[in-house]
Amino acid sequence: MIRKKMKRLVRWKKASVKKPLFVFGAKGVGKSYLLKDFGKNEFEDLVYVNCESNIFSSDIFNDNIQFYDIVKKLELIFNKVIDKDSSLIVFDEIEKNPVILKSLLESSQNSMEYYVASIMSTSASYAFEKYSINPEIIDYVTISPLSFEEFLINTQNEELALKIWECFNSNEPMPGLLHKKAFDLYYDYLIVGGIPEAVNEYINTSSVVSSIDYQKNMIDIYKSVLLDNKDIKTSKKVIQTYESIPSQLFKNNKKFKYKLVENGSTSNYLADSIMSILDSCLAFKCCKIEASEGNNLVLDPNSFVLYLNDVGLLTYLSEFPIYFIRNRDAVNEKMYDILSKNYIACSLKDNNLDLYYWKNKYDSKLDFVVKMNDTDLIPIEVKSDNSVKSRSLCNFMNTYNPKYGIRLSTKNFSFKTNIKYIPLYAAFCINKNNLE
């Protein structure tokens, strides 16, 4: 699999100061594969340590062991010399071995001698707090499921991806046949999603149906992650919360409804369950911003929407008929709208943009608002068809006077009356570097 984050790893290797690299993200999104591929392509030797394996249990390392001594023990285990400049050491699921993690973090207080990359199946924020990791003394990156751009590249459609970027930057319309082809592949992506095993099966079979077994397997893995070290009552609660996300989105609620998880549920009752889901990178929050006095926008952390980390898993959990997604004319508009919004949320999040939505007291609502910088916001409206009429986007722009607005729909690229029109499939182009 070709992953864009490979360039980020290469930059880490070329940095003038060696820091340990931490790779965060949900299980099954390709973290291990990416680092193994990186090690094989960029180093002479790869030392891969699965910290969940019994051979690397904490028993073989004493509590106060120096990291240098851990390396020397690894040399004895792997029967080879680990070179400071040409070897990459990868600790997979390093949190499972607290001795190695502690020693690595202590060693990172000073200049690192070795190239070391560690994988954790959590969010970065959770790891920093839980394991007292100082982000200033490490380098880190978060890996998500394959974006639609990566989906195109890996399905031999890299030229199409480049053309999408060209049209996005120029605001010139995509040629009609390419526009149709991009949407056909986009509809397939809504079904397959970006879980690497599902995408690989789609590539091998050219069938969207073949990815379903891999999606089911991934959902089972995610549930086992959520159940880890929890009692029966807590386990039931967190699984119910996770499984409620599709129904929450389908009802198009203005915010997460606790009663849809279980009658009588409250924010306090479900707080730990929601946090477990977020900490495991299985979903992410889109919080509400609203006007205060003087029309200043303020965050309302108690009002939020949860989006799943992969649109293909949303399609699977929602049991949406694949036929209706691939045959656009027959699709249920509400169903398509939900999938489109989750896809866009994933695209924005993958580009390190914080997610917000906006709603005023008159019931105008925008699906997404993103920060262009510390002070400027860009409103984003999502239309699952080619509609160009929207009171909400106009209300936001008239009230807050942003630099411009974005409307994502089935329409082609253009820029008119201070609105940038972007086809849904091109959401991966929206990032901080090109918002200004």
Residue given tokens 């591929």 in the structure block: 37
pLDDT digit string (tens) for 71-98? 999 999 999 999 999 999 999 999 999 9
Where along the chain do its domains lie?
A: 5-142, 148-435
pLDDT digit string (tens) for 97-112? 999 999 999 998 887 8
DSSP annotation of 303:
E
Of the candidates 230, 225, 223, which has an alpha carbon nearest to the alpha carbon of residue 245?
A: 223
Give rounded-to-5 percent helix, strand, coil for the chain.
50, 20, 30
Q: CB-based contacts of 22: which residues, under 8 Å, 6+ apart?
A: 117, 118, 119, 120, 124, 127, 133, 138, 139, 140, 141
DSSP annotation of 211:
G
- Split at pLDDT 50, 70, 90, the class of 377 is confident
Q: Report whether pLDDT(293) > 60.
A: no
Of the candidates 330, 336, 401, 393, which has an alpha carbon nearest to the alpha carbon of residue 365?
A: 393
pLDDT digit string (tens) for 133-183? 999 999 999 999 999 999 999 999 999 999 999 999 999 999 999 999 999
Q: Report whether pLDDT(10) > 90.
A: yes
Predicted TM-score (pTM) of this structure: 0.94
- Distance (Å, whole) CA 72 – CA 245: 47
| Cβ(267)–Cβ(251) below 8 Å | no
- Distance (Å, whole) CA 387 – CA 28: 37
Q: Which fold has domain 5-142?
A: Rossmann fold (3.40.50)
Residue 215: predicted pLDDT = 96
